[in-house]
Amino acid sequence: MSRIVTVGEPMALFAAESEGLLEEVDRFARFVAGAEVNFSIGMARLGHDVTYITKLGNDPFGKNIQGFLKNNDIDTSFVTFDDKHATGMQWKQKVSAGDPEVFALRKNSAASTMDIQSISSLSIADFQHLHLTGIPPALSTSCREMVYELARKAKAQGVSISFDPNIRPALWPDKKEMAAVINDIAFLADIVFPGMAEGRLLTGRETPEGIAQFYHAAGVKTVIIKLGPKGAYTSSEDKKFYTEGFEVHKVIDTVGAGDGFAVGVTSALLEDLPLEEAVRRGTAIGALAVMAPGDNDGLPDRKGLNDFMEPKLNR
C-alpha cells in the first residue's frame, strides 16, 4: 500500500444529541473533527500508511486527539504540542435534513501557528502521495507558506498531489483572496475535488464542464466535481463522464461526505484502479459517510467497502 502525508487542524468536536438550535441543546457527544482527519482515517482503514502533520494545544483535547489518531493507525511522528495556544474546538447541530450548523473556536489555535519549520525534517520523497485541502492556508499566513512549500516540494519530487478546496469563507478576509489562494494551490495538484457550489465560487463557471475546463487550462490533469446525491462529474485528459451516486437509505449527518469521496478516489487510484472505478468507490464511501453520526464514523474498512459496493441479490 502507499505512503501518504497530509496536514491539517484536527479539532475536538461536540455533536448535539438532540435536534434544535445549538444555544438550546443541553447534551453533546464528543468526537474528533477535521477534513484531513477524516481523509487520514479513511485511508488508514483501507490499509494505506498515513502520516498526519499538525500542532495541538498541550491540553486534554489535544492529548485526546493524538491518542485518537494513534488508535486509528495514523502516524503521529509529525504531531507537536504548543503550551501557549489551545486546540481548536467545534460544536455541531443535529438535524434530520440538510446540513447542520457548525460553530468553531479556532482563532489563534495551536494549528494556526504551524509554519515552514513544522515540516523542516520531513522528506517528501519518502511518500507516494500528498493530500491537501483549502483549510490550512486559511488559518494563518505561516500555515499558507507551509502548504505552498509542501506542494512545491511534492511536485518537484514527482509525488502525486490531490486537493480538496474545502472552502471555509469565515476563515478568510474576503472571497477574492480565498479564491486566489485556493486556486493557486489547486493549480499545483494532479487531481482537484471541488463541490459544485465551491467550483462556481472559485471559478465563476456555472457548469461542471466549465469548472473542469478552468482547472485544466491551468495544468490540472484530473478534475472531479462532487454533485452530492447525484454523484460526480469527472474530466481528465482523455476521459469525461458522469457517475451516479449510491443509494442512501437514511441521511444521518452530511459532514464528512466530501472527505469520504476523496478517500475513495485517491485510494483506488493509488491502487492502480481505472479512473471510472475510482470515482465509483468515491461515491460509495461518500454515501456511507452520510449514513453515520460523527464526521468519520461511517468511513469503512476494506470488508465494509466491498460489502457495500457488491451488487445485492434480488434487487
Confidence of residue 27 (pLDDT cuts 50, 70, 90): very high
Contact 208, 227 (CB under 8 A): yes
C-alpha cell at 146: 507551509
Catalytic machinery residues? 259
Strands 28-33 and 49-57: unpaired
As a whole number of angstroms, the distance between CA 295 and CA 254 comes to 8
Average pLDDT over residues 15-41: 90
Q: What is the mean pLDDT of the chain?
A: 91
The rounded percent of the chain whose pLDDT value lies above 90 is: 72
- The dihedrals phi and psi of 130, each to the nearest 5 degrees, come to -120, 125
Average pLDDT over residues 281-309: 86
pTM: 0.92
Nearest one of 88, 93, 95, 104 to 22, comparing CA atoms: 93
The residues pairing with 55 across neighbouring beta strands, listed in sequence order, are: 80
pLDDT of residue 251: 73
Predicted confidence (pLDDT) per residue in 49-81, tens digit = 999 999 999 999 999 999 999 999 999 999 999
C-alpha cell at 296: 468519520
**What is the DSSP code string of 61-84?**
HHHHHHHHHHHTT-B-TTEEEESS
Contacts with 250 (C-beta within 8 Å, 6 or more apart), sequence order: 291
Contact 132, 150 (CB under 8 A): yes
Average pLDDT over residues 191-220: 95
pLDDT of residue 83: 95
As a whole number of angstroms, the distance between CA 247 and CA 141 comes to 41
Where are the strands (E) in the chain, listed by range? 3-7, 11-19, 28-33, 49-57, 79-82, 89-94, 102-105, 129-133, 160-164, 191-192, 222-226, 232-235, 240-243
pLDDT of residue 55: 97
Confidence of residue 305 (pLDDT cuts 50, 70, 90): very high
Contacts with 51 (C-beta within 8 Å, 6 or more apart), sequence order: 3, 4, 5, 6, 74, 75, 77, 78, 127
Contact 165, 38 (CB under 8 A): no
Is it the case that residue 101 has pLDDT exceeding 90?
Answer: no
Nearest one of 224, 222, 280, 284 to 257, comparing CA atoms: 284
Is it the case that residue 148 has pLDDT exceeding 50?
Answer: yes
As a whole number of angstroms, the distance between CA 40 and CA 55 comes to 16
Nearest one of 121, 168, 169, 142 to 5, comparing CA atoms: 121
As a whole number of angstroms, the distance between CA 215 and CA 292 comes to 33
Contact 10, 56 (CB under 8 A): yes
* Helix 175-186 × helix 141-157 angle, to 10°: 20
